[in-house]
Amino acid sequence: MTTRPNIIFIMADDHAAQAISAYGSRVNRTPQLDRIADEGVRLDAVFCTNSICSPSRASILTGTYSHINGVSSIWTELDYRVPTFIDVLQAGGYRTAMFGKWHLGEHGDSLPRGFDAWKIFPGQGDYVDPEMIDQHGASHVSGYATDIVTDLSIDWIDGLGEDEPFCVMVHHKAPHRPWIPDEKHKHPLCRRQHPRARDVLRRLRDAQHGGARGAHDDRRRHGFRGPQVRGPRASQGP
């Protein structure tokens, strides 16, 4: 009998390829993500037809375009007019779970389906001591969002039997704005910051009022001329 693979799907929110050193980033270093790229497959040519938050999540779940699954904007909720791959896995004997940012609706028919366990942020969610929703309702969870989602996922996996194939969707809120690091990482991040990054970020923020050209000019003027890589995109939230 063929062994069924376990599936761990990890999503980051608004995490551009230019911020991952496996894709040539000169702004920061991401050694653990680089290790995944080295030991797996790095996609260099990916095209996404609707990369904003909710539509991209619906397409991942259903394998269909937005006009088929009905989720066309960040305000559209999932109505399950087409089945998800989670439905298929669960029907095939997989244990399934979803933890983190859902952003496909928080009430009634739009809540997660087909998962043995789930716990999600309402809307964008908060970074510190966030509210989360599960089958029993809403409650606040102490801690930092990234740690919470990771711990929930690991605890769920640890509770499974060795012969139970599983699929868990680990949907992080980070690094979506507002950019609030965990307190234990706040000062180390500041110390390791690229010597020009603070000034560039300020100029990029100011350039938003002058359009994309101003931001692009600032980027080039300050030496951020890394390769324009087409790669896998994280969900693009509002």
Between CA 97 and CA 13 the distance in angstroms is: 19
pLDDT greater than 90 at residue 35: yes
**pLDDT for res 221:** 46
Q: Give the highest mean pLDDT range of 40-49, 52-61, 192-201.
A: 52-61
Beta bridge partners of 169: 9, 98
Whole-prediction pTM: 0.79
Whether 222 is a known active-site residue: answer no
Average pLDDT on 74-99 reads 97
Average pLDDT on 126-144 reads 97
Between CA 7 and CA 9 the distance in angstroms is: 6
pLDDT greater than 80 at residue 189: no
Average pLDDT on 113-138 reads 97
* Domain annotation covers residue 150: yes
**pLDDT for res 188:** 63
Residue 124 structural domain:
7-221
pLDDT greater than 70 at residue 228: no
Residue 102: which pLDDT band, with cuts at 50, 70 and 90? very high
* Domain annotation covers residue 107: yes
CATH number at residue 96: 3.40.720.10
Residue 216: which pLDDT band, with cuts at 50, 70 and 90? very low
Q: Residue 30: left if φ>0, alpha if ψ -120 to 50, beta else—which one?
A: beta
- What's the structural domain count of the chain? 1
**pLDDT for res 232:** 41
List the catalytic residue out of 103, 171, 172, 176. 103
Task: Look up residue 68 and give its amino acid.
Answer: I
Q: What integer best gives the mean pLDDT of the chain?
A: 85
pLDDT greater than 70 at residue 132: yes
**pLDDT for res 210:** 54
- Give the neighbor-by-neighbor strand order of the sheet with 137-140: 7-11, 166-171, 95-101, 117-121, 131-134, 137-140
Average pLDDT on 70-87 reads 96
pLDDT greater than 70 at residue 1: no
List the catalytic residue out of 53, 167, 172, 176. 53
**pLDDT for res 85:** 98
* Domain annotation covers residue 43: yes
Tokens for 120? Answer: 């999600």
If residue 9 lies in a helix (H) or strand (E), which one and from where to where?
strand 7-11
* Domain annotation covers residue 232: no
**How many CB atoms are located within 10 Å of the residue 121 CB?**
24
Residue 3: which pLDDT band, with cuts at 50, 70 and 90? confident
pLDDT greater than 80 at residue 197: no
C-alpha closest to that of 225 among 207, 190, 206, 200: 200
Query: Long-range CB contacts (< 8 A, 24+ apart) of 75-83?
Result: 77/104, 77/105, 77/110, 78/54, 78/104, 78/105, 78/110, 79/109, 79/110, 80/109, 80/113
* Domain annotation covers residue 235: no
* Domain annotation covers residue 231: no
Counting every residue written for the chain, the total comes to: 238
* Domain annotation covers residue 24: yes
Q: Write b or e for each residue in 126-157: b if 16 or more Cβ atoms lie within 10 A of its Cβ, otherwise e.
A: bbeebebbeeeeeeebeebbbebbbebbeebe
**pLDDT for res 227:** 41
Whether 103 is a known active-site residue: answer yes
pLDDT greater than 60 at residue 43: yes
